[in-house]
Structure 1
Amino acid sequence: MDRFLYIAMSGAKETMHAQAVNNHNLANANTDGFRQALANANTVPVRGPVFDSRDYAQLGTDGTDFSKGQMQSTGRELDIAIEDEGFIAVQGPDGEEGYTRAGSLHVDAFGLLRTAQGHQVLGDGGPIAIPPAEKIEIGTDGTISVRPQGVGPEALAAIERIRLVNPDVNELERGDDGLFRMADGGEAPVDAEVRVVSGMLEGSNVNTVEALTRMIELSRHFEMQVKMMDSANTLEQSSNRLLGLG
């Protein structure tokens, strides 16, 4: 009987985790460049000294769906979207290099180029600083050109290039801050083939209809597993009463 209870208990535990992951995806359905997380669970035997004695549900490594989100036109000169594959390199809160596809950029009060989440955008020489300018343009290769204040329209000068990378997505892991990093702790090399589109943003790749359907499905799974635990408890009590009669 305890095998029955153990399977139901471990299944309910992993279903709760899957619900948390799904809810996190729903909460980021409108976050630019967000990549939905995937929760996987597998049946794993409990290893004993002689034979495998139990099976239980074990959470696998959380994966990420790297499919593209829908492109949205904004017309804003500091909004950029990656055309195909690739990432924008930024500096995370820990000072380490991270990668994102969220391309809503702005210049802060100190002239530093940041994402909407506050991460500093990196160039070839580190964090990018923008001098006071009347116009800022970002080229398809990430080159930033500015027209300084008080000069004519012909005085457009390139000042820096956004660090664009395209690592193997299988070598990336998501951090608690939402940024992706190389699993080995290294830094991805610059990829000159990565292209951006100015005046566009890439939306989240979360399908809200599918996520809501998944939420209902997981809720029903959890209810079923709790009922299984109740049934196991009832059967155990019945068995104890029968043994007591003997």
Structure 2
Amino acid sequence: MIDALHIAASGLRSGQQQLDTISNNVANLQTPGFKRGRVNFADIATPLPALGADPQTVIAEQRPGGVRIISTSTSFEPGEMRQTGNALDVAIDGAGFYEFEAADGGLVYSRSGQFRVDEDGFLRNYQGLRLSGDVQIPREGRDMKISAEGEVSVQMPDEVDRTVVGTIEVVRFAAAESMRSIGDNLYAVTPQAGSAVYGRAGSDGAGRLRQGQMEMANVEIIEEMSGLVLAQRAYQLNARVLQAADQVMDTINNLRR
């Protein structure tokens, strides 16, 4: 019965995190650039058998140990591209991230390209984080254009040709799904994700930029609702196992000779 309690408790803990992850996915259904999370489970391993142990004895002694969460990863499958007409909305059509300078001096990454121009001409996201790189828009610059390769140009007064003011780089990682979500559509690098690879948009596997478009969340509501139902049922079943084990232990405790 003690084993049943531990197994049910592990199932409840894992089920709660799965429910939280699915709920977060559904809540961000309309968030531009959001990437759905997913929970990865594994059985709790039993102790390894001693060297030279009889295989039949080992199998007979093995007991289920419950379930645990080995990781919570992010699916970076592309979302729908939606036309906005806003010159400061720039989506990445393909693999890669924008790199931003965090308040603590570190670097964070995002797929969301909803920018604004600050008083110094630098591009910032809606949280106020500055886009890394050398892009700076002059105060007198007009009609900003961003090419599919990330080249940023403006029309300066009394000049016929457009002026290039910088290039937006796209950053890639070998195992992007291993990056750690830190909220607000931002991700931090982990050792498992690998080193950042900087490059020109549209080359070496990096996605091309789409000015005037937003990438929507890659959340499929039907898939998430189906997963939510399964997670709720699993949670209920583990709760019933816990209740049944408690009832059996209560009955045993009240037995009289």
Normalising by structure 2, what TM-score? 0.83
Question: Is the Cα–Cα contact under 8 Å of residues 45 and 53 in structure 1 kept in the other structure?
Answer: no
Greater shift, 77-86 or 174-183, is seen at 174-183
Match of 1:92 in 2: 102
- Picking from 181, 195, 205, the partner of 1:175 is 181
CA shift, 1:170, in A, is 4.6
Show the counterpart of 2:76: 66
Cα distance in 2 between the residues matched to 1:45 and 1:187: 32
Distance 1:49 1:217 in 2: 34
Asked whether 1:224 is paired with 2:237, we answer yes
Return the letter of the residue paired with 1:9. A
Q: CA 1:183–1:223 in 2, change beyond 3 Å: closer, same or farther?
A: same
Counterpart residue number, 1:122: 132
Greater CA drift, 214-223 or 30-39: 214-223
Q: Hey, what's the Cα distance between the residues in 1 that align with 2:234 and 2:210?
A: 43
Give the corresponding residue for 1:214: 227
Task: Assess if the C-alpha contact under 8 Å between 1:78 and 1:138 holds in 2.
Answer: no
- 1:25 is aligned to 2:25: yes
Q: Which residue of 2 aligns with 1:190?
A: 198
- Counterpart of 2:151 (choices 139, 143, 168) is 143
Kindly indicate whether the alpha-carbon contact (under 8 Å) linking 1:11 and 1:225 is maintained by their aligned counterparts in 2: yes
Q: What residue ranges of structure 1 are gaps of 5+ in the alignment?
A: none
For the Cα contact (< 8 Å) 1:171–1:182, is it kept in 2? no
CA drift of 1:12 comes to 0.5
- Letter aligned with residue 158 of structure 2: V
1:46·1:56 contact (CA, 8 Å) conserved in 2? no
Give 3-state SS (helix, strand or coil) of 2:179's partner: strand
Q: Take 1:218 and 1:94, find their aligned partners in 2: how far apart are those partners?
A: 38
1:131 corresponding residue in structure 2: 138
Aligned residues: 239
In the alignment, what sits opposite 2:213? 200
Cα 1:236–1:49 shift into 2, 3 Å: farther
Structure 1 residues 92 and 29, CA gap change in structure 2 (3 angstroms):
farther
Which residue of 166, 180, 204 corresponds with 2:172?
166
Query: 5+ residue gaps in structure 2?
Result: 51-60
Could you tell me how far apart the structure 2 residues matched to 1:114 and 1:78 are? 10
1:98 shift after superposition: 2.1
The answer to whether the Cα contact below 8 Å between 2:73 and 2:177 also exists between their aligned partners in 1 is no
* SS of residue matched to 2:166: strand
Preserved contact between residue 89 and residue 165 of structure 1 (Cα < 8 Å):
yes
Instruction: Report the TM-score, using the length of structure 1 for normalisation.
Output: 0.87
- Percent identical among aligned pairs is 26
Q: Aligned Cα RMSD in Å?
A: 2.4
| More off after superposition, 8-17 vs 191-200 | 191-200
- The letter for the 1-side match of 2:188 is R
Name the CA distance, whole Å, in 2 between partners of 1:22 and 1:186. Answer: 27
Cα distance in structure 1, aligned partners of 2:104 and 2:224: 31
